[in-house]
Amino acid sequence: MKKRYSVFAIAKEAARHHLGWERAWAAPSPKPKYDAIIVGAGGHGLATAYYLGKNHGLRNVAILEKGWLGGGNTGRNTTIIRSNYLQDPSAAIYEKSRSLYETLSQDLNYNIMFSPRGVIMLAQTQAEIRGYQRTAHANALQGVKTEWIEPRRVKELCPIINLDGPRYPVLGGLYQARGGTARHDAVAWGYARACSDMGMDIIQQCEVTGVSTEAGKVTGVTTTKGDIACDKLGIVVAGHSSALADMAGFRLPIESVALQALVSEPIKPAMDVVIMANTVHGYMSQSDKGEMVIGGGTDGFNNYTQRGSFHHIEETVRALVETFPMISRLKMLRQWGGIVDMTGDRSPIISKTPVGGIFVNCGWGTGGFKAIPGSGWAMAELMAKGEPGPLAAEFTVDRFKVGKFIDESVAAGVAH
């Protein structure tokens, strides 16, 4: 059992020069066989493992990661958390997720720095006004607390905003006061520590290169650290889902593209809400370190390089400078990309597959950080019982065949 993190632990360690901290998770070698293997130690894979253990008592579990844990999109995103989606199945899973975030630090005994500072999605066109008012009404029916706010209120909440941009005026916004941000690495690290503590094996630098099946059922995986057998396999690899599906012999309605973000030099506190401007594909919040964290739009072509095209960054920043004139002189420190997994209806897939014992969780695209706890919860239930529970029921891969889409592609087709 790991030592608990607390104010007393900090005081105790301070008194002995911080020499007593333990490793947060173990670095085991793979065993020959597990009850369940999760491929991908991003937030969704780790949360799946965590709830498999916590909610379903399944602990003979390995999480295999080709790089380092949390090094995929989970460590590359702009950390916006909200649940103001349009469709009922989305509202259910994103709101479950947001509410789990509220107490996740206590649950994991790991400070994930959830900061419900409020999220405003700006309406900058007439179509967006109608769209967001419709979403506010839908949210009211779903029991998700959001509200439509007028420009004056936007300005009160975010004084650095320019309401009267000639090209992109601010006409109002959809406001979710309990949305916000969390520390992305901490979410992965907190789940990893808890999984390791339950006796699960997190194996890093271990790439899955093949999937073995027998009579239409999974028997194990081939990896760069040898063959490992399993009864159940969860594929939770975001942008790499098509590659894993290919190894297992099926195909997914997914395309992988690059999504970029960038951060400025740190400045004094200037904004304490998250602002999303979907018309211009721009998003901005201020990190605890003082950096302005800015997210952009996706590239239009298939890409696995974790690098995006420069002109997208340029377009995002050009538009945001009009809405936030004060950022025009900021130096940008870093820019990076992640490979996101896009579905046709911009909703995720949490589903059984054509191969027995293989389950897939993917398609979170540009907006799955907010969904990590809820997605892990739903995926664990699916893997433990073999059938989806109420949260995952609508997110099957079959919906593309029967035409039961969960359309969240709204005006901009991007949602963080």
Partner 1 sequence: MLTLTCPYCGTHADETELAPGGEAHLKRFGPGSSDEDFEDYLFRRANPKGVHFERWRHAYGCGKWFLAARCTTTLEVYGTYPAQTTEPPEHILETIAAKRPGWSWEADT
Ligand X SMILES: Cc1cc2nc3c(=O)[nH]c(=O)nc-3n(C[C@H](O)[C@H](O)[C@H](O)COP(=O)(O)OP(=O)(O)OC[C@H]3O[C@@H](n4cnc5c(N)ncnc54)[C@H](O)[C@@H]3O)c2cc1C
When asked if residue 370 is in the footprint of ligand X (CB under 6 A), the reply is yes
Q: Quick one: what does residue 255 bind among ligand X, partner 1, none, with the CB cut-off 5 to 8 Å set by partner type?
A: partner 1
Map the footprint of ligand X across residues 148-177, applying CB under 6 A. Answer: none
When asked if residue 77 is in the footprint of ligand X (CB under 6 A), the reply is yes
Q: Which of 187, 200, 228, 237 binds ligand X (CB under 6 A)?
A: 237
CB-based closest residue to ligand X:
42
What residues make contact with partner 1 under the rule CB under 8 A? Answer: 240, 242-243, 246, 251-256, 300-305, 307, 309-311, 343-344, 400-402
Q: Quick one: what does residue 309 bind among ligand X, partner 1, none, with the CB cut-off 5 to 8 Å set by partner type?
A: partner 1
Nearest CB to partner 1, comparing residues 77 and 256 = 256
State the binding string over 283-302 for ligand X (x if CB under 6 A, else -): ------------x-------
Q: Quick one: what does residue 73 bind among partner 1, ligand X, none, with the CB cut-off 5 to 8 Å set by partner type?
A: ligand X
> Three-state SS string across the chain, please?
CCCCCCHHHHHHHHHCCCCCCCCCCCCCCCCCEEEEEEECCCHHHHHHHHHHHHHHCCCCEEEECCCCCCCCHHHCCCCEECCCCCCHHHHHHHHHHHHHHHCHHHHHCCCCCCECCCEEEEECCHHHHHHHHHHHHHHHHHCCCCEEECHHHHHHHCCCCCCCCCCCCCCEEEEECCCEECCHHHHHHHHHHHHHHCCCEEECCCCEEEEEEECCEEEEEEECCEEEEEEEEEECCHHHHHHHHHHHCCCCCCEEEEEEEEEEEECCCCCCCEEEEHHHCEEEEECCCCEEEEEEEEEEEECCCCCCCHHHHHHHHHHHHHHCHHHHHCCEEEEEEEEEEECCCCCCEEEECCCECEEEEECCCCCCCCCHHHHHHHHHHHHHHCCCCCCCHHHCCCHHHHCCCCCCCCCCCCCC
Distance (Å, whole) CA 34 – CA 377: 20
Q: Quick one: what does residue 42 bind among ligand X, partner 1, none, with the CB cut-off 5 to 8 Å set by partner type?
A: ligand X
Quote the least distance from Cβ 324 to partner 1, whole Å. 24
Quote the least distance from Cβ 341 to partner 1, whole Å. 9
* Number of residues near ligand X (by CB under 6 A): 40
Q: Quick one: what does residue 40 bind among partner 1, ligand X, none, with the CB cut-off 5 to 8 Å set by partner type?
A: ligand X
Q: Quick one: what does residue 41 bind among ligand X, partner 1, none, with the CB cut-off 5 to 8 Å set by partner type?
A: ligand X
State the binding string over 206-235 for ligand X (x if CB under 6 A, else -): -xx---------------------------
Q: Quick one: what does residue 242 bind among ligand X, partner 1, none, with the CB cut-off 5 to 8 Å set by partner type?
A: partner 1
Nearest CB to ligand X, comparing residues 325 and 337 = 337
Binding site for ligand X (CB under 6 A): 39-45, 64-67, 71-74, 76-80, 207-208, 236-238, 240, 244, 259-261, 295, 338, 340, 364, 366-370, 416
